[in-house]
């Protein structure tokens, strides 16, 4: 991968991380990573560097065993969550593990995650919930998360957080924001009366409709980049 492309990917990761902090999907913890195309190397932020101030130069390079190849800081304690997903999912380009409040709440109640907004059609049906509530620090725990995730793009971690997998950093940002907004919308709607989740027919129609909007991830990315600049975080 040319150095210019690798640097651009680093910049995207730093930008995405700051935007996710701004939108309260991440806080002092959580991490975004990306596989360097054509390699078994992964870009990931250090354990202790503030997510709100992350820069491209802060980002580490690790191998699929989590060993640091470039950088002087330790990787996140849950680096195996990322490396095990990359090993199990050759299609995974980028991964986010965060602790967003609204979507995590749906792992603490006995009800499925309901898709009640049109953009939430991608989350219709029961999202897989990984039952380990502890930090994912050991190799066997990372493999177990990858098994729960399977071919899904989203996995909920019981009483803990989320794992989101995407084919680009722009799509990762969109999916993380959409997941949390879908959860927030369902929670608010439930205070008004019985929920009316999207039907299978509606999901099918929405999949076709949104399939014509392949520009959406780029549009979302540009909006939040500009919002971040106006807020002074980029």
140 three-state secondary structure: helix
Neighbours of 233 (CB within 10 A): 14
Predicted confidence at residue 6, as pLDDT, reads 83
**Is the model's pLDDT at 140 over the cut of 60?**
yes
Mean pLDDT of the chain: 96
DSSP state of 88: H
pLDDT at 125: 86
Cα atoms in the 13 Å half-sphere on the side-chain side of 175: 23
Give CATH for domain 3-227.
3.40.225.10
Beta bridge partners of 165: 95
The domain segmentation of the chain, as residue ranges, is 3-227
pLDDT in tens, 192-216: 999 999 999 999 999 999 988 889 9
Mean pLDDT for the stretch of residues 54-71: 97
- Over the Cα atoms of the chain, what is R_g? 17
Nearest 5°: CA angle at 105, between 125 and 191?
A: 85
Instruction: Label the pairing between strands 41-44 and 161-166.
Output: unpaired
pLDDT surpasses 60 at 1 = no
Q: How confident is the model at residue 94, as a pLDDT?
A: 98
Residues 6+ away with beta carbon under 8 Å from 234? 15, 18, 19, 225, 228
Collapsing DSSP to helix, strand or coil, 145 comes out as: helix
Tell me the pLDDT tens digit for each residue of 73-86. 999 999 999 999 99
Tens-place pLDDT, residues 2-43: 566 888 999 999 999 999 999 999 999 999 999 999 999 999
| Percent of the chain residues past pLDDT 90, beyond the cut | 93
> What is the per-residue pLDDT for 213?
87
Q: Please, which pLDDT band fits residue 92 given cuts at 50, 70 and 90?
A: very high
pLDDT in tens, 145-197: 999 999 999 999 999 999 999 999 999 999 999 999 999 999 999 999 999 99
Q: What percent of the chain has pLDDT over 70?
A: 98
Polymer length in residues for the chain: 234
Residue whose tokens read 């709100």: 52
């Amino acid at each position: 991968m040319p150095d210019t492309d690798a640097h651009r990917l680093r910049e995207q990761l730093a930008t995405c991380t700051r935007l996710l902090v701004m939108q309260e999907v991440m806080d002092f913890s959580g991490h975004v990573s990306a596989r360097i195309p054509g390699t078994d190397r992964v870009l990931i932020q250090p354990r202790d560097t503030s997510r709100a101030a992350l820069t491209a130069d802060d980002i580490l390079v690790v191998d699929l065993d989590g060993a640091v190849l470039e950088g002087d800081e330790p990787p996140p304690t849950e680096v195996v969550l990322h490396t095990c997903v990359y090993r199990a999912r050759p299609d995974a380009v980028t991964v986010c593990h965060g602790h967003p409040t609204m979507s995590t709440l749906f792992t603490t109640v006995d009800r499925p995650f309901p898709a009640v907004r049109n953009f939430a059609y991608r989350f219709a049906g029961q999202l897989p919930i990984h039952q380990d509530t502890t930090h994912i620090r050991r190799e066997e725990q990372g493999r177990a998360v990858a098994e729960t995730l399977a071919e899904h793009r989203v996995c909920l971690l019981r009483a803990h957080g989320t794992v989101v997998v995407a084919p680009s950093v722009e799509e990762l940002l969109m999916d993380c924001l959409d997941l949390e907004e879908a959860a927030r919308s369902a929670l608010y709607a439930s205070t008004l009366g019985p929920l009316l989740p999207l039907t299978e027919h509606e999901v099918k129609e929405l999949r076709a409709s949104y399939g014509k909007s392949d520009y959406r991830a780029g549009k979302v990315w540009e909006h939040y980049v500009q919002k971040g600049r106006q807020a002074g975080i980029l």
